Amino acid sequence: MCGIIGFSTKVAKDPVAVITQHLAYLEYRGYDSTGMAFVDTSGQMHVAKKAGNILALKAATCDMHKQSHFGIGHTRWATHGQPNDVNAHPHVGDEASIIHNGVIENHEQLKAKLITEGFVFQSETDSELIAHTITKGIRQGLSRGQIFKNFHTDLKGIFSIVALFHDGEIIATRYKTPLVFCVSKDGVWLASDALAIAQHAVDGTVCFMKDGDIVSFVADHTYRMMRGTAHFTPIERRHQVPTKGNFAHFMLKEIYEQAEVVQTLRTFLENYNFPIDRPKKLLILGCGTSYYAGLMASYWLQEHACIETDVCIASEFRYQHFMRDYDMCVCISQSGETADVIAAVEIVKQRGMKTIGILNTIESTLGQMVDVVLPICVGPEIGVASTKALIGQLVCLLFMTLSWMKERDHFFSIMSELPQLIQSVLSNLPSIEQLAKQFHEVSSVFFIGRHQMYPVCLEGALKLKELSYINANAYPAGELKHGPIALIDHKTLTIVLVADDHVSEKTLSNAQEVMARQGAVLFASADDHLHPLLKLPVSQDKLLTIFAPIIALQLFSYYVALERGCSIDQPRNLAKSVTVE
């Protein structure tokens, strides 16, 4: 969600240019305000922060182009307090300026105590108290290192905290939210994502900090671990900063990369020995698109592998009073830092279940928690609305299913077909674009389908609402008449997903119910007899049926958003990596 950048270098730099450039690498995480702090070469602290995007911050700092050896920057996704200039980070105390990712759950009690001690607050955030707590600790004679150690006992919640002191020292710590640093030719760099600083890693390695670690960037521009040990690991391909190339948006580029993703993942899995035996009862945890990936896979697992499978929304899992006797849990998260999934996996591990993580980030928090990581190998996904990560997750889930069925050869056979299937959908792009032009002004869209098409409907509705801000909802087709059909009229669009399966006739009957009420219907199907407006290619293997409609609906949502003039790569209010509960 929020983004962090920091540097301490021997060669003085223009901090405004450096910080805004590196914050731009983190824009994909989603944000609504930005800010920076730096100490110039004369020893003066400068702070600037602005609601809005990085361009707004650049405009606000056009007269601040000094020289500096030390600086920190932040992109904020609002949790406590509106996205305005005052609530933006950094927050300033007498001793340091601080930036913070995460949520301080006991902030009200801590803030109230600081107010009684004479501290004055300017913002509505849960973060400002950190700056005042540093000031309070220094006045009490505590060392900076001890103050940061105390954060891990006094603060409840999750956090990454970075403080820039007036003498240029930068101190950082983390608990359940990511921080990474690297050594460069002339100093050290810090970020919430290795992608932002990988270019500076002089030996091609970075250190992913662990919970409780505290690092200091000291006066000679080197690092010193105040707590914990620094372990450096090589930078993977996915940490390289991507470009849009000839595409208008990252999302469209990532849709087109999906055939390559399948081929890359197939090559990786050919040499991957899946190490976990077939479970009797399986639990799958995820949020958003990752949850829908689990729902889609549950049909493979139950109907083909005959494995009893439950799929749970991770944020609700912890509230279950009665837990079935699962012997294995699969957690799905693109970032590996999804707070709700982390909290659910902690419960699972307390109950002794084996855990598999389907992740894009091996060194993430979840990557360190689970017993086995099955990496999706999709590289950086910059568009906030997930596309190629979903396809990578589904390929891994299908590999897992067929591995447990002792049918690895079948998996690799159908993976040879899948890239061609994806290309067939992409070749239909002009007609999909035309459909978007036809329907982009509708105010409400319903997605209906049965069986394995239902979770595809859920994902299609999510993509459309994320990108175009249209009120889009998905229902099992049979449920439409149990309430939602009251909303159908000539102003609504219903997208009907029809597969060539045993429930197609029932789905068509439900579509007739919509048309009888003057609702517009768009069929998405490979069945020519339906004369579908959204024509899908035929998949030779039934296990691949869901892939074509997923990608077609990604394209439809993209072009609808384009017609409506929406921010496609960074939709409003959304964040790529949801690191708060």
What phi, psi does 16 have (nearest 5°)? -60, -50
**3-state percent helix, strand, coil for the chain, nearest multiple of 5:** 40, 25, 35
What are the structure tokens assigned to 146, written together? 């001890």
From first CA to last CA, the distance across the chain in angstroms is 11
What are the structure tokens assigned to 492, written together? 């609504």
CB-based contact 48:223 (threshold 8 Å): no
Give the three-state DSSP class for 341.
helix
- Measure the CA–CA gap between 491 and 192, rounded to whole angstroms: 45
331 is catalytic: no
- Measure the CA–CA gap between 260 and 72, rounded to whole angstroms: 37
In angstroms, the Cα distances linking 253 to 23, 245, 358, 536 are: 22, 8, 23, 21
Angle in degrees, 0-180, between the axes of helices 258-270 and 408-426, rounded to the nearest 10 = 170
List the one residue out of 85, 79, 53, 76 whose CA is nearest residue 2. Answer: 76
Q: How many CA atoms lie within 13 A of 210 on its CB side?
A: 11
Active-site entry in 2, 207, 377, 566? 2
Matching residue, tokens 């139950």: 302
CB-based contact 193:178 (threshold 8 Å): yes
Residue 289: enclosing H or E segment and its boundaries?
A: helix 289-303
List the one residue out of 168, 158, 152, 171 whose CA is nearest residue 1. Answer: 158
- Measure the CA–CA gap between 434 and 54, rounded to whole angstroms: 34
Q: Kindly give, in sequence order, each residue whose CB lies less than 8 Å from that of residue 133, ignoring residues fewer than 6 positions away.
A: 110, 114, 147, 151, 154
Active-site entry in 111, 176, 388, 576? 576
- Measure the CA–CA gap between 534 and 522, rounded to whole angstroms: 7
576 is catalytic: yes
List the one residue out of 410, 408, 402 whose CA is nearest residue 306. Answer: 402
Beta strands in 291-327 (DSSP E): 308-313
| Dihedral (CA of 425, 534, 376, 279) sign | negative
Residue 50: enclosing H or E segment and its boundaries?
A: strand 45-51
- Measure the CA–CA gap between 505 and 502, rounded to whole angstroms: 8
List the one residue out of 242, 245, 253, 243 whose CA is nearest residue 558. Answer: 253
Order the strands of the 223-227 sheet from edge to edge.
91-92, 96-104, 157-165, 170-175, 214-217, 223-227
Residue 152: enclosing H or E segment and its boundaries?
A: helix 144-154
- Which residues are catalytically annotated? 2, 576
